[in-house]
């Protein structure tokens, strides 16, 4: 069994064929799906999917791009749902910052405040984090080292920054997706061997980051199989063994998944 630990099935691009998407994934051995409800406007859709499909779970959080819309009271109404397995997708993203210096600092400050609140929330609830890190590795590392609880979490779409490997000692895992199959993924491929094997998990980030040879098309969980093949090749283990170990890792992190 493969667990897609990060797939945005609540995205409108799946509205017309979600059942077929899930069927295709199951045909490829993907039997569990985690929808990281990073956008409050699609959270209810994620919950609906989890209630309609036994295989679908979700998390509750706010993406750094939506930090200004962080509403903990609203999110709290879903946190006790039996299919909620984590806090996130949350984190820091400095890729699209304003051009004016004062606005840059204000945006970073807001993102950090919202991220810290979600870290502490996860710690209090004893839930893992799903963390988004983009051009912000140093700040993310510092905040997680200072505030994260023993439940740890996953660095979604691990960005190959070696400094973040320190977090493996704090029970953080590394989400590996379609980027590993890209021709220009040399940095990730070079770092991959340094990731502890018991901290690797599979994701797609569907509908984004579609793996080779389907780049340019909508991504979907069925392509976890392609990611697993590449991981097995780089780890020098049979794909079936790689799948078994990453599924074991995912269940250890997301304890509410059956």
Residue 6 labeled ligand binder: yes
Computed from CA positions of residues 178, 184, 188, 193, in that sequence, does the dihedral angle turn out positive or negative?
Answer: positive
Q: How far apart are CA 53 and CA 232, in angstroms?
A: 29
Residue 105 labeled ligand binder: no
Burial status of residue 8 (CB atoms within 10 A of its CB: 0-12, 13-18, 19 or more)? buried
From the list 165, 164, 95, 93, the residue with the least C-alpha distance to 133 is 93
Measured in residues, the chain has a length of 258
Are 107 and 98 in contact by the 8 Å Cβ rule? The answer is: yes
Residue 132 labeled ligand binder: yes
Peptide bond into 89 cis (omega under 30): yes
Residue 214 labeled ligand binder: no
* Residue bearing tokens 């078994």: 244
Phi, psi of 56 (to 5 degrees): -100, 130
Burial letters for 55-79: b for 16+ Cβ neighbours within 10 Å, e otherwise?
Answer: bbbbbbbbbbbbbeebeeeebeebb
Q: How far apart are CA 30 and CA 6, in angstroms?
A: 12
**What are the structure tokens assigned to 78, written together?**
């879903």
- Per the annotation, binding residues are 6, 8, 89, 132, 156, 205
- Per the annotation, binding residues for a divalent metal cation are 6, 8, 89, 132, 156, 205
């Amino acid at each position: 069994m493969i667990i897609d630990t990060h797939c945005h099935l609540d995205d409108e691009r799946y509205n017309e064929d979600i059942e077929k998407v899930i069927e295709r994934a199951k045909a490829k051995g993907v039997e569990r799906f985690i929808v990281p409800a990073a956008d409050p406007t699609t959270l209810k859709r994620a919950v609906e999917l989890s209630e309609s499909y036994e295989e679908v779970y979700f998390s509750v959080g706010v993406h750094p791009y939506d930090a200004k819309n962080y509403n903990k009271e609203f999110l709290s109404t879903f946190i006790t749902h039996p299919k909620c397995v984590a806090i996130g997708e949350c984190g820091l993203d400095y890729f699209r910052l304003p051009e004016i210096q004062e606005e840059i600092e204000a945006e970073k400050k807001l993102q950090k405040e919202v991220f810290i609140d979600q870290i502490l929330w996860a710690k209090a609830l004893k839930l893992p984090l799903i963390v988004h890190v983009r051009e912000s590795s140093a700040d993310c590392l510092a905040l997680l080292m200072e505030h994260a609880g023993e439940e740890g979490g996953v660095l979604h779409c691990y960005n190959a920054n070696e400094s973040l490997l320190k977090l493996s000692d704090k029970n953080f895992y590394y989400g590996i997706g379609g980027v590993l199959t890209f021709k220009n993924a040399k940095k990730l491929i070079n770092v991959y061997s340094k990731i502890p094997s018991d901290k690797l998990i599979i994701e797609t980030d569907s509908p984004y980051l579609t793996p080779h040879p389907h780049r340019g098309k909508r991504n979907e969980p069925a392509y976890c199989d392609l990611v697993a093949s590449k991981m097995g090749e780089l780890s020098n283990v049979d794909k079936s063994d790689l799948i078994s170990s990453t599924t074991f890792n995912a269940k250890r992190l997301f304890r509410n998944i059956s």
